[in-house]
C-alpha cells in the first residue's frame, strides 16, 4: 500500500482540477492507477473530500486567511487532509505528518509549515469550529446554497433528508439477469460465498457491503449487473411485450437497455451521441448475451438516424443535472450552477418534441431523469403536455419523483401515452 502522503498528494492534484471545473471520473481515469489498495485510497480521498467539499472549504477559511493560500493545490491538500482526519480511517498524528510530507511530493516545500499549522489548529479548536460552521448552511449540509434553497422550496418536509442522502456512500445494488436466473437463487449463491445481501424487488439485490465485481458469482458470464434499485424501475414501467419495436434514446452506459432486453423479446434500437459510450453499451450487452442495434446519434436529430418507422415504446433517459445521484458523482454538486437547470430543461424539451414524432399511435414514452429538481422534471412534462395535442400522462404505479434514500438514488419517471 502506498504511503498516505502519496495518496494525499495524488488526491489533492485531482481535487484541485475538479475545483477548477474538470470531471472527477475523467480525472480518476486519467490517473490510470491499477485496481489495488493504493487506487482504493486515492478514490476514497477524492470522493470523500468532494462529498464534504462545502464543509472543508469553510474549515480552511476559518483556520487561515485568504492571503495564506496562494496555490490551489495547497488548498486542495488541506481539504483532503481534513477529510482524512474526520473520516477516522487514519490516526490524527499520521494525517498531519503525511500531509506535510505530501507538500514535498507536490513540490510545495514552503507550504509544509503552513499545512502542519492549519491541521494542528483544527485539532485544537474543533469544538468552537463546529459552533461556527453550524450557522453556515453550505458547511452544515455540504451542498451549494442555491441547491439547498431549491430543495427546501420543492420538498419542505424532506429536503434535509435528501441533502443527507447526497453526502453518504451509495449502496451497491445488483440486477439479476432474468434470462439467466432468479433473484432468490442468486441471493442463495451470494449467501453461500459469505456475501450478505437482501432483495429489494423482483430482480434487485442490495449488498450489505460493496465489493469488486470480479468477486460477484457469474458476473463475467452475464448472470448479474450492477444497477441502482431506482434505475431498475424504468424498464418495468414501459409495459413491455414481445415483438414491440423499442427505442432507448439516450442509452449509455446500457444498464436500462440491457434490462429491457432481459424482460422481453423486443426489437431494440439504442442511441447515444458519444461513440465511446456506445462502445460501452455494446460491451455490456455482449457480456449479458443480449443484442440490440446500437447507433451513434443525437436522438433529437431525427434526419440522421430515424427510418420513419414508429416505435411502440420509447425510453427517454434524458441528460440532466444528475442531482439525484450526487453521492455517486459528488463533483456535480460543485460544478453545476443554478443557470444550468434552464439549459437542461431546454434540451429535455427538444428531445421530447423530437421523440414524440417517432412514437406510434397508442405507444408509450417513458421520460426519465436522475434529478430531484422540479425544473427538469414536473415542469418539463407539464409544459410538454400543454403544447402537445393528444398527449397524456398515463397513470402508473411507481412513476413520479423518487427521492434518494438508503436503498436507491433519486429519479423522476413520467409515462406518456399517444392516442391510438
- Residues with catalytic roles: 370
Mention every residue, 6+ apart, whose C-beta is less than 8 A from residue 112.
100, 103, 104
* Cβ neighbours, 10 Å, residue 187: 18
User: What cell numbers appear for 394 in the block?
Assistant: 398515463
Q: How many CB atoms are located within 10 Å of the residue 308 CB?
A: 7
Compute the distance between CA of residue 206 and CA of residue 197 in angstroms, rounded to an integer: 5
44 vs 89: CA distance, rounded Å: 11
How many CB atoms are closer than 10 A to CB 243?
Answer: 10
Cell of 399: 412513476
CA 166 to chain centre: 10
CA dihedral sign, ordered 305, 306, 311, 314: positive
Could you tell me if 408 and 357 are in contact, meaning their C-beta atoms sit under 8 angstroms apart?
no
Residues 6+ apart with CB under 8 A from 51: 142, 166, 167, 168, 327, 330
Cβ neighbours of residue 156 under 8 Å, at least 6 residues apart?
Answer: none
E strand or H helix at 246, and its extent? strand 245-248
Q: Vertex 202, ends 198 and 253: CA angle to 5°?
A: 90
Closest CA to 74 of 23, 45, 116: 116
Neighbours of 193 (CB within 10 A): 9
Q: Which residues contact 253 (CB under 8 A, 6 or more apart)?
A: 277, 280, 281, 284
In the block, residue with C-alpha cell 500500500: 1
C-alpha cell at 378: 414536473
Amino acid at each position: 500500500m502506498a504511503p498516505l502522503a502519496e495518496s494525499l498528494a495524488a488526491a489533492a492534484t485531482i481535487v484541485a482540477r475538479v475545483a477548477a471545473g474538470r470531471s472527477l471520473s475523467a480525472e480518476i481515469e486519467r490517473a490510470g492507477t491499477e485496481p489495488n489498495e493504493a487506487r482504493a485510497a486515492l478514490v476514497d480521498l477524492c470522493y470523500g473530500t468532494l462529498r464534504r467539499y462545502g464543509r472543508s472549504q469553510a474549515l480552511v477559511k476559518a483556520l487561515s486567511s485568504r492571503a495564506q493560500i496562494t496555490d490551489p493545490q495547497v488548498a486542495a491538500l488541506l481539504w483532503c487532509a481534513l477529510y482524512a482526519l474526520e473520516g477516522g480511517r487514519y490516526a490524527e498524528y499520521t494525517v498531519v505528518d503525511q500531509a506535510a510530507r505530501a507538500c514535498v511530493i507536490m513540490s510545495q516545500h514552503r507550504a509544509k509549515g503552513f499545512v502542519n499549522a492549519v491541521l494542528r489548529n483544527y485539532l485544537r479548536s474543533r469544538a468552537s469550529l463546529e459552533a461556527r460552521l453550524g450557522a453556515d448552511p453550505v458547511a452544515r449540509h455540504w451542498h451549494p446554497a442555491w441547491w439547498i434553497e431549491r430543495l427546501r422550496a420543492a420538498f419542505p418536509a424532506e429536503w434535509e433528508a435528501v441533502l443527507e442522502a447526497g453526502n453518504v456512500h451509495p449502496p451497491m445494488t445488483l440486477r439479476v439477469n432474468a434470462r439467466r436466473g432468479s433473484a432468490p437463487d442468486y441471493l442463495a449463491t451470494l449467501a453461500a460465498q459469505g456475501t450478505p445481501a437482501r432483495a429489494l424487488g423482483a430482480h434487485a439485490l442490495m449488498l450489505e457491503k460493496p465489493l469488486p465485481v470480479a468477486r460477484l458469482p457469474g458476473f463475467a458470464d452475464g448472470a448479474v449487473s450492477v444497477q441502482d434499485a431506482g434505475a431498475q424501475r424504468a424498464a418495468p414501467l414501459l409495459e413491455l411485450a414481445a415483438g414491440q419495436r423499442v427505442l432507448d434514446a439516450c442509452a449509455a452506459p446500457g444498464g436500462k437497455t440491457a434490462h429491457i432486453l432481459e424482460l422481453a423479446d423486443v426489437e431494440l434500437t439504442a442511441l447515444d451521441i458519444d461513440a465511446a459510450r456506445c462502445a460501452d453499451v455494446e460491451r455490456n450487452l455482449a457480456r449479458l448475451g443480449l443484442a440490440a442495434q446500437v447507433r451513434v446519434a443525437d436522438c433529437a436529430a431525427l434526419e440522421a438516424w430515424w427510418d420513419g418507422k414508429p416505435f411502440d415504446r420509447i425510453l427517454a433517459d434524458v441528460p440532466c443535472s444528475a442531482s439525484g445521484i450526487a453521492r455517486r458523482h459528488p463533483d456535480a454538486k460543485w460544478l453545476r450552477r443554478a443557470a444550468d437547470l434552464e439549459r437542461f430543461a431546454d434540451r429535455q424539451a427538444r428531445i421530447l418534441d423530437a421523440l414524440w414524432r417517432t412514437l406510434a399511435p397508442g405507444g408509450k414514452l417513458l421520460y426519465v431523469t436522475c434529478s430531484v429538481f422540479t425544473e427538469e422534471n414536473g415542469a418539463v412534462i407539464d409544459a410538454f403536455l400543454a403544447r402537445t395535442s393528444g398527449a397524456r400522462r398515463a397513470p402508473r404505479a411507481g412513476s413520479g419523483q423518487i427521492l434518494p434514500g438508503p436503498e436507491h438514488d433519486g429519479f423522476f419517471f413520467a409515462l406518456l401515452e399517444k392516442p391510438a
